A and B are shown apart, each in its own frame.
Chain A
Amino acid sequence: DGGITQSPKYLFRKEGQNVTLSCEQNLNHDAMYWYRQDPGQGLRLIYYSQIVNDFQKGDIAEGYSVSREKKESFPLTVTSAQKNPTAFYLCASSISYNQPQHFGDGTRLSIL
């Protein structure tokens, strides 16, 4: 089955820790995206990548970092610099920009 896999489904972080969220796709899509979703709000773009070894900041990139070493993988690191990390994080991919984006089922991050 083709799709996007995010892991883990739930993640807990202690104050001052960095955590990394996994996103893997087997759709052979070039573009990948990370969004943050807070209650009652729409999705906000954190980072996006069109090709391997290249990525751009979205609207709320501060306190986050990404890498794109493989076409299939686009991990997101939530650093200790992110002051309000509790949220639902969604990864998406598309064939290219301006094409339908397909989403994973998200990772819910909470602070202990």
Chain B
Amino acid sequence: GENVEQHPSTLSVQEGDSAVIKCTYSDSASNYFPWYKQELGKGPQLIIDIRSNVGEKKDQRIAVTLNKTAKHFSLHITETQPEDSAVYFCAASLNEKLTFGTGTRLTIIP
């Protein structure tokens, strides 16, 4: 099955700086890569996703890049704000299943 590794497990950045979270996946057949944001006591919320036929996607301050050759994808958050503090999860989809990374706790320092 698919295996997804996510780094770092914790990340602290100054407000206004950029944050980058990286994930690698094992199965080259995976073709859909969503990113989720989870706040305390809540369910994960989809923030951006990318499919394997695209190398990069951007939505305002959030962007995702995909390198199929290296089996690697990353989340980039620019101009970070206090409300960006949360746990972020990457995932990779193979057939009908999503496999999640172990999460990154992002803390924005005012």
Contact = CB atoms under 8 A, between A and B. Distances in A.
Interface of A: 4, 6, 31, 33, 40-45, 48, 50, 56, 58-59, 90, 92, 97-98, 100-106
Nearest to A99: B32
Given A40-B9, A98-B96, 4 more contacts: A33-B98, A42-B101, A43-B100, A98-B32
Interface in B21-65: 31-32, 34, 36, 41-46, 49
Contacts, number: 59
Given A103-B44, A104-B43, A42 B102 contact: yes
B89 interface: yes
Contacts of A45: 97-98
Interface residues of B, number: 26
Contact of A101 (B1, B42, B98, B103): B98
Nearest to A50: B96
- With most chain A CB atoms within 10 A of its CB, the pick from B45, B95, B100, B102 is B100
A76 B32 CA distance: 26
Interface of B: 1, 4, 6, 9, 31-32, 34, 36, 41-46, 49, 89, 93, 95-103
Contact of B102 (A40, A58, A105): A40
A6 B31 CA distance: 29
Contact of B93 (A41, A56, A98, A103): A98
Nearest to B1: A59
Contacts of A4: 43
Contacts of A56: 96
